Structure 1
Amino acid sequence: MSERHRVAEQEPLAGDDYLISDAGRERQLAFFRNPEVPDYIQRLVEGYIERKTTKAWDDPVVLDRMRNAILVQKSRYWKGQQVSYRKAYQVLGYLAYHAPVYLVQFEHILWQIIDQGLAKPHMRILDVGTGPGVVPLAVIDLLGRIGGGSAEVYAIERSEEHFEAYNALVPAAAAAQGDAVRVEKPIREDIRALVVEDLPDRIDLMVFSNVLNELRDMEIEERADLVARLADRLAPDGTIVVVEPADLENATAMRQTVRAIMDRGLTIYSPCSFIWGTVCNPKRCWTFEQKSNIRPTRLMERLAEGGDAYRFINVDIKYSSALLRKDGKTQHAYRVPSGAKFARFSHLHRHRDRTINVVAALMSGNLGDDRTKVYKVCDGTAANPVYAVIPATLRGPNRDIFEGLAYGDIVEFSRVLVKFNRDHNAYNLVILPRTRIEPIRGSEGQDAGTGARST
């Protein structure tokens, strides 16, 4: 293998090759195998806590106040109430409990952007609603680790306490990792009151990370209007990232918001594929990605020593996200060929208790357990959720039929059994011993099989 190679096997954007060394790629993949918040970032957070409280970061009084802040935040979140970050310990609780997961989470998303050829050697990034700067910290950490690429980072935040934390953490992290990332002075403003013309132009990456769900006074259409308005500052070949928590309410609201943004002229690059050339109904679209758990930070471990450890250890990487573009580019250009004999999900009611052939995108990891495995699948036509199910009674190689497939991969299914789940008003595609799947390798549909009629 050559010393340096292109990140993705795609044509470079704007004539630019984004090169990364093999060693840099392996360092990042090793990080994902055993993810944890790097020590230099943990030390920056601990130092900031000490400056804010004038006590040691693990002082019992400090830890107890952070525990209280975390419990209040979690309670308000699950009640659907606005979470406030106007006080110091509210932000310190966020840094202790939420930030570690969100940091690694965004590194996964940024790596996807790089790996799929959407990044540039130098990127202008705007983080909308940055909080204490988790997204910029992820950018700094990843680019520093891979040793390739550079960025200038702009950010918007309204909370004075978040603003202060950002200024204490982000520039210091950038300095610790060299000169790859230039941190611009953040803009203090409510994102709902932004004057678009005051923002930097030709943004390559515009990020809405765990922020749209906090605009609880805005309807779905209003959130979509906001994103579409700010997209005016996006470069012609730039990318918008929308990411939200994986719980049912926020994940489905995010899909509805992204679908509404699409109606305003942007294209969903991923994960949605629209393989039948039709638009979808996202009202019951609960999909999310899951990655390897992170290692708890030192701060988390100390917070957990006070009892009820599960309340203060947050290590699960689960998130719902979407990438959008202005240039019409999509991850998968595949469309079901005319005349191909696959059943649409919108027609599954015609095939109850029969074995059929379908084509769909894999839209989740295993939502079940080790015995009964459940995967969300989508072809863009269904009003009811559809799941591929590996029953507990199935034996043989088909128990691992989805191994090696990635989130968003398009797959042909042959000979799956259609069952209606009355309790959940959903359809199950039951994997049988004779079921076969075939990933779609071509992007233009030329590799699609013809399938067969339901039997």
Structure 2
Amino acid sequence: MQDEIERYVRKKTRKDPFDPAVLDWICAAVTAQKAAYWNEEEKRTIRYRTPSSVIAYLAYQFPVNYAAWATIFAGLFGRRPPGHLSVLDIGCGPGTVALALIGVLDRMGGGTADVRAVERSRDHIDAYAAIVPQVAAAGGRVTVHPPVAADIRVPPAGIAGPFDLITCSNVLNELPEGDRAPLLQAYARLLSPGGLLVCIEPAEMRTASLLRRCALALHGNGLYIRAPCRFLRGTPCRAERCWSFVTHPPVAATRLMRHCAERGGSWRFCNTDVQYAYVVFAGQPVPSAYRVPERSGCIRCGDIGRHLHRYVSTEVTVVSDELGSPDTHVRKICDGTGREGVYAVMHGYHVRPANRWLLDAPYGSVVRITHALVRRNERHHAWNLLVTRDSEVVPVRPPAWPPLPGAADGEKTKD
């Protein structure tokens, strides 16, 4: 993949991609993009209207976004590749989703897909045309069509569906908040029976929290959340604010990253942390396969305040990776009933085989915590469950990855 991107840089600049002038050009574009993204104002101005902005994306953001989508596809497919998928990528950029799909199917050695896309940036479409078809042809499993150049907020003519999978990668945060839910509702009508719509957004608090807010507003209004939220009590989520994201091992810095870092005198041009928020929607309601038994003796997160300073048991979904340190482990937990955040906290000296699953539980999995002490965290307006050496933490359900139409994997978790 590095070779294809470097060839594109060479094509657009007519220079070696590691020429000092080219590297300075990329560093300046990356710096400008980061400044626009971290604008704290409500209206961010993230645009890809020049070749430099697209090349900056390929050099800095593409590797981690590619890794995120590769992980999503691996989760959706399980241990076996799908049969055949029709895919629509909304706001496809230079082809991150399509390239990740090609890579996963190639590594799995099976499955085919037909990918269509919508994108408004001509420069992104140019990069897509230069990179994606060549990679797809080499693999032979994925057919890609030229992106339709259009405003993504309304499904354009010629994009009729139905689609087994619709993807939306780091698009919503570039739109006004009021446009996000209507956009997803419009595209949800293009899903095939059993089809899924998957959104990924950056992990930082504002974008991740707004994704959750948008998802909860859509749940039952044309779309239905399938993951990572589990609705363990069968009730609508009551969270006033939810900042939840997943973390994966970092990717290796690419050649362009390393050269930009050396040229720019700073490793701020190396973006290797894979962290993102995601939601998997279905177009139709699907009953969850698991609910916490009513007589389990497990308290609801929404009732935790009634048990202050008491030892309790609960069944919850793990909705964060490690938030603490080797000295104090912290995982965010949820069952959909609490208005405020709840965190499982365990000091390092309390770790025992019986409670170690708190450290190892995958994001999105369901665990049972027994004999944990309820404490209030006034500073963060949250609740803590203190897991001690006498507590137990055991797995109940693995992460929920709903099946795609045509998926051949009968061993996948169908929560």
Q: What TM-score, normalized by structure 2, do the two folds share?
A: 0.91
Cα distance in 1, alignment partners of residues 353 and 265 from structure 2: 41
Aligned equivalent of 2:193: 236
Deviations 1:93-123 (A, max 9, x none): 0100000111111000011110188x73110
- Which range is displaced more, 304-313 or 155-164? 304-313
Cα distance in 1, alignment partners of residues 328 and 254 from structure 2: 33
Deviations 1:55-101 (A, max 9, x none): 11111000001001001111111114221111111111010000011
SS at match of 1:192: coil
Q: What amino acid is the match of 2:180?
A: R
Aligned equivalent of 2:318: 362
Aligned equivalent of 1:64: 24
The count of aligned residue pairs is 396
Aligned equivalent of 2:307: 351
Shift of 1:223: 1.3
Q: What amino acid is the match of 2:2?
A: Q
User: In the alignment, does 2:212 pair up with 1:212?
Assistant: no
Among the aligned pairs, what percent are the same residue? 37
Shift of 1:392: 4.2
Selected match of 2:77 from 97, 114, 128: 114
Aligned equivalent of 1:125: 87
Aligned equivalent of 2:292: 336
1:395–1:259: structure 2 CA closer, same or farther, 3 Å change rule?
closer
Contact (CA 8 Å) 1:273, 1:333: kept in 2 or not?
no
Cα distance in 2, alignment partners of residues 358 and 400 from structure 1: 16
Deviations 1:419-455 (A, max 9, x none): 1001000001111111012222599xxxxxxxxxxxx
Q: What amino acid is the match of 1:276?
A: R
Aligned equivalent of 1:136: 98
Larger RCO: 1 or 2 (CA < 8 Å, sep 6+) = 2
Unaligned residue ranges in structure 1 (runs of 5+)? 1-40, 444-455
Unaligned residue ranges in structure 2 (runs of 5+)? 400-415
Q: What amino acid is the match of 2:71?
A: H
1:395–1:255: structure 2 CA closer, same or farther, 3 Å change rule?
closer
Aligned equivalent of 1:269: 226
Cα distance in 2, alignment partners of residues 433 and 375 from structure 1: 17
Q: What amino acid is the match of 2:54?
A: V
Q: What TM-score, normalized by structure 1, do the two folds share?
A: 0.84
SS at match of 2:303: helix
SS at match of 2:189: helix
Cα distance in 2, alignment partners of residues 373 and 86 from structure 1: 44
Cα distance in 2, alignment partners of residues 351 and 282 from structure 1: 19
Note the aligned Cα RMSD (angstroms): 1.8
For 1:157-196, what aligned pairs fall within 5 Å after superposition? Answer: 157-177=119-139, 179-195=140-156
Aligned equivalent of 2:387: 431
Contact (CA 8 Å) 2:329, 2:359: kept in 1 or not?
no
Shift of 1:198: 3.3
Cα distance in 2, alignment partners of residues 63 and 56 from structure 1: 10
Aligned equivalent of 1:33: none
- Which range is displaced more, 255-264 or 160-169? 255-264
SS at match of 1:155: strand
1:364–1:415: structure 2 CA closer, same or farther, 3 Å change rule?
same
Cα distance in 1, alignment partners of residues 272 and 177 from structure 2: 30
Cα distance in 1, alignment partners of residues 398 and 37 from structure 2: 43
Cα distance in 2, alignment partners of residues 433 and 248 from structure 1: 32
Shift of 1:267: 1.8
Q: What amino acid is the match of 1:355?
A: Y
Cα distance in 2, alignment partners of residues 250 and 282 from structure 1: 16
1:187–1:248: structure 2 CA closer, same or farther, 3 Å change rule?
same
User: In the alignment, does 2:286 pair up with 1:324?
Assistant: no
Moved segments of 4+, more than 6 Å = none
Cα distance in 1, alignment partners of residues 331 and 252 from structure 2: 26
Aligned equivalent of 1:85: 48
Deviations 1:286-329 (A, max 9, x none): 11111111111111111111244321000011111111112334
1:270–1:116: structure 2 CA closer, same or farther, 3 Å change rule?
farther
Contact (CA 8 Å) 2:8, 2:130: kept in 1 or not?
yes
SS at match of 2:235: coil
For 1:26-45, what aligned pairs fall within 5 Å after superposition? Answer: 41-45=1-5
Cα distance in 2, alignment partners of residues 76 and 225 from structure 1: 25
